Amino acid sequence: MRKIVIAGNWKMYKTQAESLEFLQGFMSELDATPDEREVVVCAPFTDLGLLSKSLHGSRVQLGAQNVHWEDVGAYTGEIAGAMLAEIGVRFVVVGHSERRQYFGETDETVNLRLRAAQRHGLTPILCVGETKQQRDAGETEAVIFNQLAKDLIGVDQQNLVIAYEPIWAIGTGDTCDSAEANRVIGLIRQKLTNANVSIQYGGSVKPDNIDEIMAQPEIDGALVGGASLDPKSFARIVNHQA
């Protein structure tokens, strides 16, 4: 059975004080939507310890935005899976296009990070997607299939979420047509060995397009950047019509 997973990716936004302010507004806006609708906030590392305490006993789960592939070691600036798991982090974003674009993330390092996350009981949210140039050249499927083939080597598909994030739709307000996102996600699913992996759509998801996106049969949730920073907007997205 596929789960609905709505995850906010805060990127490099929100100090601890701002994250607590967000929570106050967000929790009061959340409907009593069914428990099988999972809600995740992927916060900066400095917020995670505090949020873990604040979210204890709530239905909102905690996610990180990166994890290193080694368990310990001399890797200045990196974070280990055990460090995240110990403070109650459950999810981790891996292979986001911003990491691939700005921080030299490759399919090989994405694969290592996915496996490290799983070793520590974290559920990775693997991001895949094509650039505008690749889409215009008719390469969307080939690009994504290539990412999946490399990223998923040795990865346990029983503990995995995938986010289809067309890069041209991220932070641009230019949402992918929901039927097209549905089509690509259907193709991604065909490449998986576990048909129950939840596959999200990400890219300019907003309160006013979430209902249409979630009405698509292949789409199992959303990875939300900008709109997850505002408590009312993110709550409206979580509270989308079934």
Give the catalytic positions in this structure: 96, 165
Tell me if 154 is assigned to a ligand binding site. no
Least distance to ligand PEP, CB of residue 49, Å: 23
Between 178 and 204, name the residue whose CB sits nearer to ligand PEP: 204
Q: For residue 6, what is the enclosing H or E element?
A: strand 4-9
Name every residue whose Cβ is closer than 8 Å to that of residue 190 and which is 6 or more positions away in sequence: none
User: Between the CA of residue 83 and those of 37, 109, 185, 199, 230, what are the distances in Å?
Assistant: 26, 19, 32, 26, 28
Beta-carbon count within 10 A of 135 CB: 18
d(CA 222, CA 238): 9
Instruction: Please pick, from the candidates 44, 49, 171, 207, the single residue that binds ligand PEP as defined by CB under 6 A.
Output: 171
Q: For residue 107, what is the enclosing H or E element?
A: helix 107-119
Residues 190-219 that bind ligand PEP (CB under 6 A): 202-205
Q: Is residue 66 involved in binding ligand PEP (CB under 6 A)?
A: no
Q: Closest CB to ligand PEP belongs to which residue?
A: 225
Between 40 and 80, name the residue whose CB sits nearer to ligand PEP: 40
Between 119 and 206, name the residue whose CB sits nearer to ligand PEP: 206
> Measured on CA atoms in the order 170, 65, 242, 232, is the torsion positive or negative?
negative
Q: Which span (30-38, 99-107, 141-149, 163-171) binds ligand PEP, by CB under 6 A?
A: 163-171
List residues binding ligand PEP (CB under 6 A).
Answer: 9, 165, 170-171, 202-205, 223-227
